[in-house]
Structure 1
Amino acid sequence: MGTLDRLWEERAGEFAGTAIRYLRLVANSGFMFSIYALFLVGGFMYPAFLEWLPAYVPVLELFTLVFTYFLTRNPIRTFLKEADMVFLLPMENQLGPYFRKSVLYSYVLQSLFIVLLYFILGPLYQNRLFEESNSFLLVLVVILAVKGWNIASAWAEWRLQDHRIRWGLLFGRILLTASVLYVVFSDASWLLAALLLAAMAGAYLAYHGRLSKKYALKWEAVFSMEQRRLSAFYRFIQSFADVPFIKTPVKRRRWLSGLADRMPFQKDKAYRYMYVKAFVRSGEYLGMYARLLLVGCLVMYAFPFEWLRVLVSVLFVYLTGVQLRTLWYHFDTNIWPDLYPLALSEKEYSFQFLVLRLLLLQSILFSAAYLLLGTYMLFSLVILGAGLLLSYYLARQRPKNRLELS
C-alpha cells in the first residue's frame, strides 16, 4: 500500500485517538448525566406523549421537514491540513481513493445519526403515519439511499466556483428530497417514489458525476469546510478540556454588535465589552444559546405533565450555563488581553456579569413559555424562581483549570 493510500487511515486514526480521549472527559462530566436524565425521562414519557399529541399536529409535514434538513445537510470530513494545499495539490489526480474514503466515512457517521433519529421517532411514525410495520424498514432503506445521493452530489458540487449555481443545485436537491420523503412517509405511491429515485440517479449520472472531469477541486473551500467541522467538535469539548489550538470563526452581526457598542468605554468595562462582543460575534455561543432555548421550549411542549416541564426548563438552564463556561477561555490564545492593566477580578466580574444576565433571560423566557403551554401560574413562578437561583449559582462558578491533553 502506497503512502497516499495510508494517508487517510493515519489521519483518521490520529483524530479518533484524540477524540476518544476527549470524549472520556465529557462522559465523566455532569453534562452527560443531564443528557442521560433527559433521555430517561423522555423514554418514560413517550407513550403518554403519543396519547396526548393533538390530531391536528401536522406530523407528516414535520417528518418531511426534519429528515429533509438532515439529508440535505452534508458536511464532509476530509482530514485535510493547511499544508496539503501546497504539497498535495499537485497530486490531486491520485487522491481519488482518499476523498472517496472521506465521503464514505461522512456518510456512515451521518447515517448512524439518521438511523438513531428514525428509530426514536419510530413509534410516532407508526402511530400517526402508517400502522403497518412491514414498510418501516423499507422507508429507512429509501432514506439512506437518498442520503447517499445527497452526500455524493454535495461533494461533486464543491468543484463549482459560482456560489449561485451551488445554491441553485442545493435548492433543487431540497425539493427532490422533500418530494421523495413526503411520498414514502404518506405511503402514497411506491411507484412514484421509485420514479423520483430514478430521477435522482439520472441527475447524478448526467450532471454531478461529470463535474470531476470538468472542474478541479476547490481546495480552499474544502479545507474551510474541514476547519468548520473540526472547530465545531473542539468548541464542544472546550467546555470540559483545554483545547489550545482551536480556531474560532467570527461573524460581524451588525444588528447585535451595536448593543455592545453602546456600552461606555471605561477602563473597568473593557472585559465586559470584549465578552459581549465574543458572545455575539463568535460562531457558536449565540447559536448554542438560541438552540438550547428553542429545544427546551419544544421539549416543554412535548411533555404533558407540569412538573416535567419545570424539570426540563431547569435542566436546559443548567446545560446553557455549562456551555457558556467556554466563554471564559475565549481570549486565552490572544496575548493582548494579558497586557491590559486590569486585575483578574475585573475579568471574573465581567464574565459573571454576562453569564448571569444570559441565564436570567433564559429563565424568564422559559417561564413565559410555560404560561403559553401550562395551566398553573404557580408552576411558572417555580420555573422562574428555580431558574433565578440556578443562574446565580452557575454564574458564580468560575471555570476551573481544565485538563490539557497533548
Structure 2
Amino acid sequence: MDSKQLFKKRFSAHLKETVRYLQYILNGHLAIAILFLLGAGAVFYQQFLTQLPDNFPTDWIVSLLFALVALYNPIQNLLKEADLVFLFPAEKKLTPYFNLTLWYSFLTQLYLVAIVAAALAPLYQTSELTESYQLLLLMLVFFKAWHFLLNWWILRVRDRAIQRSEKLLRFLLQLAFFYSFINRHVLIASLLAVGLIGLFVYLYYYSHRFALAWDQLVEKDQQRMQSFYRLASMFTDVPHFKTSIKKRRLLVGWLTKAIPFEQKNSYSFLYRITLSRSADYFGLYLRLTLIGAMLLAYFDHILIVLVVSMLFLYITGIQLVPLWYHHRTQIWGDLYPIKMTERKDAIIKLIEQLLALQLIVFTLVSLLTTDLWQSGSVLLIGIVFITGFSRIYVMKKLT
C-alpha cells in the first residue's frame, strides 16, 4: 500500500467536492451580502474604537479569543466508514497518510488565526497595551500547534469525561497564560508555561497507552462533513446529507394549530412541521433575526437602518426557499391529490409570514432605538420588499 498515493486520491476527491459546493454557497447574491455585512461591521468597529473607554477589558478579550483559537483544532483525516474494514488492518503502514492529513488539518486552521489576529489588532493598538502584538501572535501559533498535537493524541482516549476535563484544564491554563503574558506577569506566565508542558508530557504518555480509535476518527470526520453538507443543502441538493430531526412538540403545536383541517392545507401543515423539526431552517431563522436586531439596535442613520433591515430580510428569505425542495426526493408528496398551485401558495404564504414576523421584530427594535418616522419607514419599505420578494423572486424559484 502506498499511503502517500492514498492521501493524494482522498485529498483530490475531498477538494473537488468542497469546491463544488462552495460555488453554490458563495453565489453572487450571498457574496454581495457578506461584503456588505463586512463593511457594516467595519464601520461599527471603527465607531466603537473611537469611543473605547479607558477601563475596557481588552486584555481579557484578547486572552479569551486567543485561548479559544488555540484550542480549536478539528482534525480531518479524510476517512470513510468502509475504512474500518479495509484500512484498519494496514494501520502500521498508514503513518505517512496520517501525517499528511494532520498537516492538512493544521494548515487549513491557520485562516482562523489570521482572521482573529487582524480583527483584534486595531483594538489592541487602541488600548495601548505594553506587550508586543507580533510576539503575542507568535505565541498563539506556537500554542495552537501544541494543542493540535494534544487533540490528535487525546482521540485515542474513549472516556468522554476525561476528554472534556482535560480540554477545560487546557483552556483555563491557556487563558491565564495569555492574560499574564499580555500584562507582563513574567513569573506567573512562566509557571503556567511549565504547567502546560507538564500536561503536554502527561497526556502524551497517557494517550499512547491506548490504540488508535478508528471508529472515533471516522465518526468525527462524518460529523464535520455533515455540518458542511447541512450548510450546502441550503443552496442545492446534497445527496450525502443526512437531515437531523427534533420533535419540538410545543413549537409544532404553536405553528400548526391555526391551520384548518382541510385537504388543500396539507402542504401548509407539512412545511410548518419541516420548519419546526428540521435542525437547519428554524435555527438559522432565529440566528439571522437576532443578528439583524442587534445591528439595528446600534445604527441610527436612516439609510443604514433601511439597508440592514432589507438585507437581513433578503438573506433570511433565500435561506427559506430550500424548504420547497426539502421533500423533493420523496415520492409520497407526488401522490397527494393537491394542485401544484396550492403547494406553491403554501410555501409562499409561509415565507411571507416568517419574513413579516422578522420585520415586526426589526420595526420594534428600530422604534426603541430611533424614532417613529424611521421605524415606520422600515415597516412600510419592508412590506413592499416582502411582497415583491415572495410574489416575484420566490415564484420564479418554484420549479
TM-score by length of 1: 0.84
Residue identity matched to 2:230 = R
Which of the residues 226, 229, 233 maps onto 2:228?
233
Which of the residues 372, 380, 389 maps onto 1:377?
372
Moved more, 60-69 or 4-13: 60-69
CA contact (8 A) 2:75 2:102 kept: yes
User: Which residue is 1:349 aligned to?
Assistant: 345
Whichever of the two has the greater Rg, that structure is 2
Shift of 1:112: 1.0
User: Which residue is 2:76 aligned to?
Assistant: 77
Residue identity matched to 2:132 = S
Shift of 1:206: 0.7
| Count of residues in Structure 1 that have an aligned counterpart in Structure 2 | 397
1:245 aligns with 2:244: no
Shift of 1:239: 3.9
User: What is the CA deviation profile of residues 268-291 of structure 1, one whole-angstrom value per residue up to 9, with x for unaligned ones?
Assistant: 333233322322332322332233
Distance 1:95 1:73 in 2: 25
RCO comparison, higher one (Cα < 8 Å, 6+): 1
Which of the residues 388, 393, 399 maps onto 1:393?
388
User: Which residue is 1:307 aligned to?
Assistant: 303
CA contact (8 A) 1:328 1:399 kept: no
Distance 1:389 1:165 in 2: 55
User: Which residue is 1:336 aligned to?
Assistant: 332
Map 1:218-229 onto structure 2 (within 5 A): 218-219=214-215, 221-229=216-224
Residue identity matched to 1:149 = W
RMSD: 3.1
Secondary structure of 2:389 counterpart: helix
- CA 1:99 to 1:148, structure 2 compared with 1: closer, same or farther past 3 Å? same
User: Which residue is 1:39 aligned to?
Assistant: 38
Distance 1:378 1:172 in 2: 53
Residue identity matched to 2:147 = N
Residue identity matched to 1:158 = L
Which of the residues 207, 211, 215 maps onto 2:207?
211
- CA 1:195 to 1:359, structure 2 compared with 1: closer, same or farther past 3 Å? farther
Distance 2:373 2:354 in 1: 23
Moved more, 109-118 or 71-80: 71-80
- CA 1:164 to 1:210, structure 2 compared with 1: closer, same or farther past 3 Å? closer
CA contact (8 A) 2:21 2:232 kept: yes
CA contact (8 A) 2:256 2:272 kept: no
User: What is the CA deviation profile of residues 177-216 of structure 1, one whole-angstrom value per residue up to 9, with x for unaligned ones?
Assistant: 33234334x4242443343233223212212454144244
- CA 1:22 to 1:126, structure 2 compared with 1: closer, same or farther past 3 Å? same
Distance 2:332 2:104 in 1: 40
User: Which residue is 2:113 aligned to?
Assistant: 114
CA contact (8 A) 2:88 2:214 kept: no
CA contact (8 A) 1:160 1:218 kept: no
Q: Tell me, which stretches of 5 or more residues in structure 2 are unaligned? A: none
1:292 aligns with 2:288: yes
Map 1:149-228 onto structure 2 (within 5 A): 149-184=146-181, 186-208=182-204, 210-219=206-215, 221-228=216-223
Shift of 1:127: 0.8
User: What is the CA deviation profile of residues 80-103 of structure 1, one whole-angstrom value per residue up to 9, with x for unaligned ones?
Assistant: 222222212233343333333333
- CA 1:53 to 1:81, structure 2 compared with 1: closer, same or farther past 3 Å? same
